[in-house]
């Protein structure tokens, strides 16, 4: 089935991926490409969106897209930098604003009878994030909206389906952002919103059948949502030719190896458990740099799967549950100017000695989309509701070097925290939770004796896709109970703190 699709040109904004996600919430398929690598088949896209950027259109480093095949020929929405770019290079005027225009604002004026603002009223909250401002509209520009501080907050170009906004409709803080995108994509661009979880399953299974044919595939299961959904998709496509391997890397949560193997019983999957904990801990010995730890874990995973693959006659493929945020954070979004945040153990291909080809059926999906696809496949809601857990496991929640004793301490702490969330009916109100073990000791008093033991950090965040996240305001009484339980029951810990930083500027994990 051929879906209408939207092209998003990436100028390096931290919000570019959120644009794609918001578009997909409307059941419209979107793709992100670098601003300077516009696809040759531009005719196949029904609309184009220009993202924001950390650069200034007035600077020497300004990013210059060639939109000659787009502007005036396709519906075009220019966001922030895109809006400034159209103004600055098309007869308008962009100047530095007196103050950085960042944060919440409200629309104080909306032009009447404009389909772009259907069902959006004056007073609607928007989110600004720019240091330049549009002083004069471009040639043919028609003002559509203003805020108290930004006169030219939205405009369109006469006789074109070109729209531009100075705010970000993709972020949570723009309350009518989804409505505005709907107005542009569905009402103005006339896109058919038919890209659904059911259609993704049908098309992906068909694609896997054609790609893999009768080849054998080995898949690394983690017990989490991503690899489980990938396994069920592949099983639906190739059945008995799928060989699932669940590796105990020694960095899992308490009792997780046994619990996960039991979880997969009855799902019709061919699953083998491999205990390689000693191998991973040896590979991590003496390493404290987070990137080196991630790479060591990635290498160890590859070695384990290479060993297991040799036990499967004529296996051709390694399947992975890689999802879009993994790819985004490991490399620049799609080759554009975005910054690398951190590498992921399951991104970046395989070494030459490993003769398997890689198949990643979900590397274009966000986490919430993976869950919706899982529901479409009939996977148990309790499994789909599991919190994300990092591929490198507790290795990146133990800051500094690793030892078996540190792993034991953090496993005990994590179990008390996670079980406490379940007991207090808080688990499903949190997107992700975990504990970090700090590489510092602090002075404490237990009984009449002085202690000098470890400090642990509890972290709980709310999010929809992991790209942005806010800390969760857990009840004080819950935190008091968990802290007391940890200090009393986990030998080696005498201090518990709670992380109240959001992403950005922090990340969800500490390494």
Catalytic residue IDs: 80, 168, 170
Specify the length of the chain in residues.
Answer: 511
Alpha helices in 6-119 (DSSP H): 16-25, 81-88
Half-sphere exposure of 83 (CA within 13 A, CB side): 30
Q: Which residues contact 342 (CB under 8 A, 6 or more apart)?
A: 290, 291, 294, 329, 330, 507, 511
Smallest Cα–Cα separation from 405: which of 454, 445, 457? 454
Dihedral pair phi/psi, residue 391, rounded to 5°? -55, -45
- Parallel/antiparallel/unpaired status of strands 242-248 and 216-221: parallel
The C-alpha atoms of residue 403 and residue 427 are separated, in whole angstroms, by: 29
Smallest Cα–Cα separation from 105: which of 168, 52, 53? 168
- Parallel/antiparallel/unpaired status of strands 47-50 and 5-10: parallel
Query: CA-based angle 40:43:44, to the nearest 5?
Result: 95
- For residue 200, the surrounding DSSP H or E stretch is helix 197-212
DSSP-derived 3-state class of residue 367: helix
Q: Which residues of 466-477 are buried (b: 16+ CB within 10 A; e: fewer)?
A: bbbbebbebeee
- Parallel/antiparallel/unpaired status of strands 449-462 and 432-446: antiparallel
The C-alpha atoms of residue 244 and residue 221 are separated, in whole angstroms, by: 6
Do 493 and 487 meet the contact criterion of CB atoms below 8 Å apart? yes
Do 270 and 242 meet the contact criterion of CB atoms below 8 Å apart? yes
Q: Please return the burial class of 456, using the count of CB atoms within 10 Å of its CB with bins 0-12, 13-18 and 19+.
A: buried
The C-alpha atoms of residue 185 and residue 75 are separated, in whole angstroms, by: 8
Alpha helices in 331-474 (DSSP H): 367-376, 381-384, 404-423
Smallest Cα–Cα separation from 1: which of 267, 223, 205, 294? 205
Quote the distance between the C-alpha of residue 158 and its chain's center.
Answer: 37
Cis peptide before 362 (omega within 30 of 0): no
Query: CA-based angle 42:44:47, to the nearest 5?
Result: 75
Number of Cβ atoms within 10 Å of the Cβ of 102: 12
DSSP-derived 3-state class of residue 148: coil
């Amino acid at each position: 089935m051929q879906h209408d699709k939207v092209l998003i040109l990436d100028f390096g904004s931290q919000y570019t991926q959120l644009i794609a996600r918001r578009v997909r919430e409307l059941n419209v398929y979107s793709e992100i490409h670098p601003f300077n690598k516009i696809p040759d088949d531009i005719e196949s896209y029904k609309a184009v969106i220009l993202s924001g950027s950390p650069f200034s259109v007035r600077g020497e480093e300004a990013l210059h897209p060639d939109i000659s095949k787009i502007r005036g020929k396709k519906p075009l929405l220019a966001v922030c930098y895109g809006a400034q770019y159209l103004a600055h290079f098309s007869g308008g005027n962009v100047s530095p604003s007196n103050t950085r225009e960042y944060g919440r604002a409200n629309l104080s004026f909306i032009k009447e009878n404009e389909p772009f603002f259907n069902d959006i009223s004056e007073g609607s909250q928007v989110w600004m994030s720019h240091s330049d401002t549009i002083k004069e509209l471009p040639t043919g520009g028609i003002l559509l909206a203003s805020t108290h501080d930004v006169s030219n907050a939205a405009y369109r170009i006469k006789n074109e389906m070109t729209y531009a906004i100075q705010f970000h409709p993709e972020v949570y803080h723009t309350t009518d952002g989804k409505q505005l995108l709907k107005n542009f994509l569905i009402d103005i661009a006339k896109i058919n919103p038919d890209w659904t979880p059911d259609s993704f399953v049908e098309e992906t299974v068909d694609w896997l059948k054609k790609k893999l044919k009768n080849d054998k595939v080995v898949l690394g299961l983690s017990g989490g949502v991503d690899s489980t959904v990938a396994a069920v998709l592949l099983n639906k496509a190739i059945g008995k030719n799928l060989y699932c391997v669940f590796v105990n890397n020694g960095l899992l949560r308490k009792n997780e190896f046994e619990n996960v193997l039991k979880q997969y019983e009855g799902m019709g999957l061919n699953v083998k458990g491999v205990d390689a904990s000693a191998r991973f801990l040896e590979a991590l010995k003496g390493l404290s740099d987070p990137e080196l730890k991630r790479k060591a874990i990635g290498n160890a995973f590859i070695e384990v799967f290479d060993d297991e693959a040799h036990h499967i006659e004529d296996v051709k493929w390694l399947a992975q549950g890689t999802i879009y945020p993994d790819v985004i954070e490991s490399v620049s979004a799609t080759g554009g100017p975005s910054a690398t945040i951190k590498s992921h153990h399951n991104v970046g291909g395989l070494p030459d000695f490993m003769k398997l080809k890689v198949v990643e059926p979900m590397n274009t999906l966000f986490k919430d989309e993976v869950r919706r696809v899982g529901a479409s496949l009939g996977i148990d809601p309790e499994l789909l509701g599991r919190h994300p857990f990092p591929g490198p496991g507790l290795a990146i929640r133990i800051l500094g070097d690793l030892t078996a004793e540190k792993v034991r301490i953090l496993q005990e702490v994590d179990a008390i925290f996670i079980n406490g969330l379940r007991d207090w009916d808080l688990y499903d109100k949190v997107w992700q939770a975990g504990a970090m073990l700090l590489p510092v000791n602090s002075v404490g008093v237990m009984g009449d004796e002085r202690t000098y033991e470890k400090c642990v950090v509890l972290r709980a965040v709310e999010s929809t896709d992991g790209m942005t996240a806010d800390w969760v305001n857990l009840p004080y009484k819950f935190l008091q109970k968990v802290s007391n339980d940890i200090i009393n029951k986990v030998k080696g810990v005498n201090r518990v703190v709670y992380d109240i930083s959001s992403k950005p500027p922090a990340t969800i994990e500490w390494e």
